[in-house]
Structures are given as structure tokens and as C-alpha cells.
Structure 1
């Protein structure tokens, strides 16, 4: 296993704090990056080194690839941990890290490209024969089956999502989702699906490594949400049968 001497965390708050604690336990140096708004937060002071990213907007700070790469090279970091959100699912960033001689702690650029974009991920899932919701064709306004959900292709953490219940709301919902997606992920690509009422949100976590080992960690019940963000995650789910659990985990 590769042993790093110093890792830059390209993230903030509790995400960065947890990575810093783990690095400390492993005897590996840590580098935090921070925006002006985050300058006094604990994760900045917990890291061995901290580099300011001038500005307050995500595009100027935690989504600023050039600034983060410069911080890593300036501090002598040999790896970058993206945490989750921000640049964690940005294939171009992972490629840039490799080009600069930095190890990206995460999936390969090819894997990120296939899964970081929900549109591309849906294409691959469809090819694999896994059931999924079809995208809504907006070319015929009268055929749109409201309510629908506008989603950011690069989205995550509940951002870039808008429920639209009528044709009158569609344009504003799409524009709002695009704007939030651009600010949060640097990509304003969106798509539209049916919005399913009164359903449960069940996830199966899958992990793999560079040696081809892959397994699942069973299911999580994630139905209790606020603004499309999970409030409580429970495992195992008490709402599904063993038969359904077996179907989900064997897929």
C-alpha cells in the first residue's frame, strides 16, 4: 500500500476534520485549505498546515482546481483527498492530480467520469439491464407527466434538485436548478425525471479497490430527509423484506 508523507484535504468542516484525525492516527501529515469564511473553523487549526484560498464563493475556493493544486505542490503534499462533494466526483481534477504527480485518493478518472455524471451513469446502468427511471422528453410540453424532478447531472448532497408540479413552474425550476448546480459543482447540466410520491429511499453501499476486490455493505434506510438531504440513515432497513434485501444486494 502506498505510504504518503503529507496529504492535502480538498474539502472543509467535518469532512476535513475527520480526514485530518485519521491522517494523524496514521502518522501522516495533513494540509487544510480554507476560504475566508472558514478561516476560524476548527479543521483549519487541526491540520498540520493550512493554506488560504482567497474568496468566499465555492468557484473561487473549494472548486478552484489551480489554487488547490498549487497549495498541494507548495506544501509538499504527495496526495490529495477530496472528501465528498466539491471536486470528489470531478474526473478532470483527478486527471490533473495525476498529471501533477499527485495521488488522487479516490476512484480513477475513468470511474469518476462514468459515475460522476448522473446522465452517463444512467446510460451505463441501462446498458447493464438494471431498472431505472427514464428521462422525461420535454419536446412535447403536453406529454410531460407532472410532477417531475429537475436534477443536476453532477449533483450530490441534495443540491441542484427542484420538484416541478406544473408546466407553469418548469422554466423557473430548471433555471434555479442550473444556477445552483453551476455554483456548487461547476457544471450546470440538468435532466428531468418523474417525481415519485410516497416512496422509500433505500441505498446499497458498494466498495471496491484497485485490486479488483468488490463487495457490498448491505442496505441503508435513508427516507427521512429535509430538502433532499438525509436527516437519519438507518441500517439495516426495517421497511424491506429479506427477499427484497437479497434482490437488492445480489444485483
Structure 2
């Protein structure tokens, strides 16, 4: 047992010497700030190669979480070395606290690079039990809720941005199985209470942040040519316009309803 304890102490002495340097190297890029930072570039690359918000978020998360797993294990080893009496790691508590601070800052930078609204949508979706129907507030960029108006000659009411905030449901078109995949998923967006409105609910929509880090979303058809939803500035009626990039695309607010 003494020999085993001696070997452990020697290993922890190496930890006290080597691990802080390794964690500093990881923080040098995960903790970098600015538009050219690692996290900003990662988010932009994932955004350019993703169809919708969850696919975008998971691409970013997969790589960063693999680094954070290493950081977490490194911090655990530093805590062990600090508590080992024969290691004499006098700077252990300060070193551990410093790297915990780095990790917290990295989380903040990751959230700002990806977008809190995007992360909240994904986290809330995967927590839904049973049928995946996530209640959300759905409104225009300016904060107008989406109501309905009956237009002569049309069977279904049209969506119009002239109402107070209403509860909608965000539902993966393929159900829960789409949450187990890294591939992009289309969604249904429909009013929690009320009649069916045009554009029809059975259409599959790709919901995606307007840019990495943004709290606004574009909504476009899954089927070709992938036209986006726009809001007419005069009558506030929602309609389909040209595919992205589209200057007329509405940048919607989609916020999780607090229970």
C-alpha cells in the first residue's frame, strides 16, 4: 500500500506541474475574445453548414464539449493534488480557482457566440416529455404577435402581425426521433389555440438564427426553393418571399414559454 501511495503522490506531483500548463493552452483559444476568436469562427462555420438551429447548435457543442471534458478532468486532478498532503501543491487552491474562472468565462463566450435563444430552444425541446410540442412565444422582430385575419376568397385565415403575443407550438416534423440525430430537422409552427392559418401548418419549416449569436430567427420552407416568411410593412400580412439571403425575410422572436 505504501508503494501504491508513493506512486500516486508522484503522479499527482506531475499533475501539479503539467496540468495547469495544458489548461492554459486550452484557455488560450476557448477563452479568446473578438470576431476572429476560435469560438466565433467555429460558430460561423457551423452556421454556414447547417439548415436549422438545432443542427447548428449541436455542431458547435460537440467540439467544445469534448474540450470541456478534458478541462473538467484536469480540474478534478488539480483538486486531488491540492488535497494530497505529500504533494505540497501550495498554489493548488489558487490554480484550481483560476481555471474554474476560465471555464465559466468560456461558457459565457460560447453562449454569446452561438446565441442564448438558440441554446434555450434546444435545451427545452429535449426536455419535453411525450409528444414533442414545445410552447413558444412567436412574434416579429419588433414584438408584434401573430394573429389571424379572414380574407375574402380564401378558405383559411391569413397570418397577420397585428396581435398581442400568443402561444405557439414548435414541433419537429419527424417527431422525437429527429432529436436523436445530428442531421437537420424541419419543424411545424402553429397556434396553440385557434383555427388553421395560411401558410398551412403542414408545411415543414427550417427555423434558424439569422446569424451566429443572434436572438432572432428566419423561417423558411424545407421544400425547394426554400422561400422565407416575410411581413408586409403596410398590411402586416405574412407571406412567402424569395429564398435566403433575402432582405425581406422577417427576423422572428421565438422564446420558450416559462411554465
Structure 2 length-normalised TM: 0.27
Higher RCO (C-alpha under 8 Å, 6+ residues apart): 2
- Structure holding more helix per residue: 2
Structure 1 length-normalised TM: 0.28
Greater radius of gyration (CA): 2
